[in-house]
Amino acid sequence: MTTDDPQFDFDFIVIGSGFGGSVSALRLVEKGYRVAVIEMGRRWAPLSFPRNGWSIHRWFWRPRFGLRGFFNMRFFRHATIFHGCAVGGGSITYAATLLAAPDKIWEAGSWTGLANWKVEMPQHYETASRMLGVTQNRILGPADLLLKKTGETAGSGQSFYCTHVGIFQPREGESPNQTVPDPFFGGAGPPRTTCTACGGCMMGCRYGAKNTLDLNYLYLAEERGAAVFPETKVVDVKPLAGTNDGSAGYEVSTINSTAWLRSKPRKLTSRGVVFSASSLGTMELLFRLKEIGSLPAISTRLGKHVRTNSESIIGARVPGCADDLSQGIAIGSGIYVDEYTHIEAVRYPNGADLLGLLTTFLTDGRPGPQRIGLWIKNGIRSLLRHPFKTLRLISPWGWAREATILLCMQALEGHLEMRWERLWFWPFSRTLVSRGDKVQTYIPQANEFARKFAQLAGGTAMSMLPEILFDIPGTAHCIGGCAIADSPDRGVVDHHHRVFGYRNMYICDGSVLAANLGVNPSLTITALAERAMSFIPTAPQTDWNDVASAA
Ligand SMILES: Cc1cc2nc3c(=O)[nH]c(=O)nc-3n(C[C@H](O)[C@H](O)[C@H](O)COP(=O)(O)OP(=O)(O)OC[C@H]3O[C@@H](n4cnc5c(N)ncnc54)[C@H](O)[C@@H]3O)c2cc1C
Ligand code: SF4
């Protein structure tokens, strides 16, 4: 049964179609609500993804410059943040690693004690895992085997594991690239094709083997009637009919996100709103809405406790390598170097060589001019001693086939603050800026591991150029900023994800996470969204008066 209130265009408007947004859309539509999902990015089909890394207009998202891909990079003083932008959110570009966070995360941060998390969460992780088709990776490529061997040499071999992933793999003995009717949802989902181990997951799966949200949660939501508006950006959300708290519903204003000239402004109304625009996207939107007076009561804790998982990207390149290191799935395996330091073997598909321009020789040392000096010295020395080998090493051509990225994540407490300020070189409008202590870019254990890895592979260890030159780490795991807490003095939403100060307004995305996970966050975001949606009554039972409770 669905509600049919002609006063509103929809019952719920969900902003963003990533993990939190897709879960919300499906669960709300199942409860009988009329749901719209507004998504800034484009809708993708397998064969529309870029064939190689040089096809940047189909890969990167900068619509003003004609780049209408699904991968965005945002540059801040403390981190370069990578995130997805598409129907299906970050799932379109993510590596499909789906790991449950350790229980200790519920004992740190502002969500501690607000629920019996350790008892409640396993069922939601289980549902999230089933929906996202999580399974253990069975496809070990040459880079994974090298990771294992390096771990054994370094004394941490026992912690090697094959990642849990949302990828449809062929069964033992079956050949890859086989299309079969929906294997996940009893025939209610789309047909699927088995993985070919091409390593292309982060450039969009051209085979339809990655379990992206448009093939599970969002697909099912649309089948049940949710309306998805692609290439549509939400620019305003304000309470209707002169109320301050949204008890009379909301007006959501949108524009076309890819148009150069005519942005086609539009207004939609709904009784409830779910912000699911990702940690960065939701913070940015809420800061703006607070500034222009649309949602002035949003907590002043907005933008606090933003975390990046303390990451460092290193790696190794093996020019002329006999094996194709791009073979396998994007993140096939991982290892724990010590209690806090976790390294994953990452790859891009053969031909995705553009990222090679960002890698350089591994350089140790504390960040700053000394490290840059050491990097220049090492470079000159290497050029003088082995000119051809050095040029071969820094040339992008063949990079993806010859290189393995080692993604190092540390589960150490540390966070940034995001603020809404004017930049000195652009005082005309405010924008998101990062503040706080520098995030560490040099993790000595990670460099040591990369060196061993390169030695075993017969290659050279690599660092990321921006980490050395600017001391700015890159991260694909920006979380927090609208943390779950007991009151607006400590966070932005309560433990049912209801926004303090407003009615029938929720946040379901990575921004609500209140602790550093130490593992990739998507499964936890999905499980938390499942939990949040489980508290919303069905459409016939709602009195449209859901309000955050301060403990
Ligand atoms: C290259 C890469 C690899 C990754 N690999 C992994 C991995 O293997 N495992 C893992 O767990 N995580 C991985 N991540 C991180 C993962 O993608 C994110 O943590 C996850 O997608 C966050 O989910 P979310 O629900 O918070 O929002 P998202 O999935 O980011 O979705 C938010 C959506 O909202 C849309 N949006 C934003 N603002 C607006 C607006 N104003 N109007 C309309 N729409 C808007 C965006 O376009 C986006 O599609 C990876 C990320 C990247 C970039
Ligand atoms: S390895 Fe290739 S086929 Fe397999 S999921 Fe990733 S992109 Fe798709």
With a 6 Å cutoff on the Cβ, whether 198 touches ligand 2 is yes
Residue 368 pLDDT > 90: no
Q: How far apart are CA 231 and CA 41, in angstroms?
A: 5
Q: What is the structure's pLDDT at 1?
A: 43
**Pocket flag, ligand 1, residue 521 (CB < 6 Å):** yes
Q: How far apart are the first and last CA of the chain?
A: 34
List, for residues 457-466, the tens digit of each pLDDT value. Answer: 999 999 888 7
pLDDT tens column, 417-456 = 999 999 888 888 999 999 988 777 778 888 899 999 999 9
Take atom 5 of ligand 2 and give the residue whose Cα is closest.
210
Quote the ligand 1 centre to 82 CA distance (angstroms).
Answer: 9
Catalytic residue IDs: 477
Q: Return the minimum-mean-pLDDT range out of 242-246, 281-285, 404-408, 484-488.
A: 242-246
Q: So what's the pLDDT on residue 413?
A: 67
State in Å: Cα 200 to ligand 2 middle.
Answer: 5
Given this model, what pLDDT does residue 373 score?
A: 87
Q: Taking the mean position of all CA atoms in its chain, how far away is CA 418?
A: 18
Q: Is the CB of 326 under 6 A from ligand 2?
A: no
Note whether 461 and 526 are within 8 A (CB): no
What does the pLDDT look like over 307-355, one tens digit per residue? 886 678 889 999 888 899 999 999 999 999 988 888 999 999 998 888 8
Q: Which ligand is nearest to the CA of 133?
A: 2
Do 299 and 505 meet the contact criterion of CB atoms below 8 Å apart?
no
Ligand 1, atom 21, lies closest to the CA of 90
pLDDT (0 to 100) of residue 516: 85
Among 40, 92, 94, 205, the mutation site with the greatest number of ligand 1 atoms within 8 A of its Cβ is 94
Closest ligand, as measured to the CA of 91: 1
Task: Report residue 313: phi and psi, to 5°.
Answer: -110, 115
**127, 529 Cβ separation under 8 angstroms:** no
Q: Whose CA is nearest to atom 3 of ligand 2?
A: 195
pLDDT at 3 over 60: no
Angle in degrees, 0-180, between the axes of helices 444-457 and 142-154, rounded to the nearest 10? 120
How would you classify residue 253: left for phi > 0, otherwise alpha for psi between -120 and 50, otherwise beta? beta
456 CA distance to ligand 1 middle (Å): 35
| Residue-wise pLDDT tens digits, 502-549 | 999 999 999 999 998 878 899 999 999 999 999 999 999 999 999 998
Cα Rg for the chain, rounded, in angstroms?
23
Mutate to test the pocket of ligand 1, among 83, 131, 295 (most ligand atoms within 8 A of CB): 83
Ligand 1 centroid–CA 188 distance in Å is 25
Measured in angstroms, how far is the CA atom of residue 48 from the centroid of ligand 2? 15
Q: 3-state class of 47 per DSSP? A: helix
pTM of structure:
0.94
Tell me what the mean pLDDT of segment 260-273 comes to: 92
Report in angstroms the alpha-carbon separations of 449 from 153, 316, 519: 10, 10, 19
- CA 360 – CA 379 distance, rounded (Å): 9
pLDDT range class, residue 80, cuts 50, 70, 90: confident
Q: Around Cβ 299, how many Cβ atoms within 10 Å?
A: 23
139 Cβ inside 6 Å of ligand 2: no
Q: Is the CB of 525 under 6 A from ligand 1?
A: yes
φ, ψ dihedrals at 285, nearest 5°:
-65, -45
Question: pLDDT (tens digit, 9 = 90+) per residue, 39-50?
Answer: 999 999 999 999
Please, which residues have CB within 8 angstroms of residue 284's CB and are 6 or more apart in sequence? 277, 432
Alpha helices in 272-403 (DSSP H): 278-291, 369-385, 387-394, 399-402
In this structure, what DSSP letter does residue 327 have? -
Strand partners, 86: 42
Share of the chain above pLDDT 90, in %: 72
Distance in Å, CA 480 to ligand 1 centroid: 13
How do residues 212-262 score in pLDDT, each as one tens digit? Answer: 999 999 999 999 999 999 999 999 999 998 789 999 999 999 999 998 877
Question: Does residue 167 line the site of ligand 2, with CB under 6 A?
Answer: yes
> Does the C-beta of 63 come closer than 6 Å to ligand 1?
no
d(CA 331, CA 139): 10
Counting Cβ atoms within 10 Å, is residue 364 exposed (0-12), middle (13-18) or buried (19+)?
Answer: middle
215 CB less than 6 Å from ligand 2? no
In 3D space, the residue among 325, 301, 302, 329 whose CA is nearest the CA of residue 315 turns out to be 325
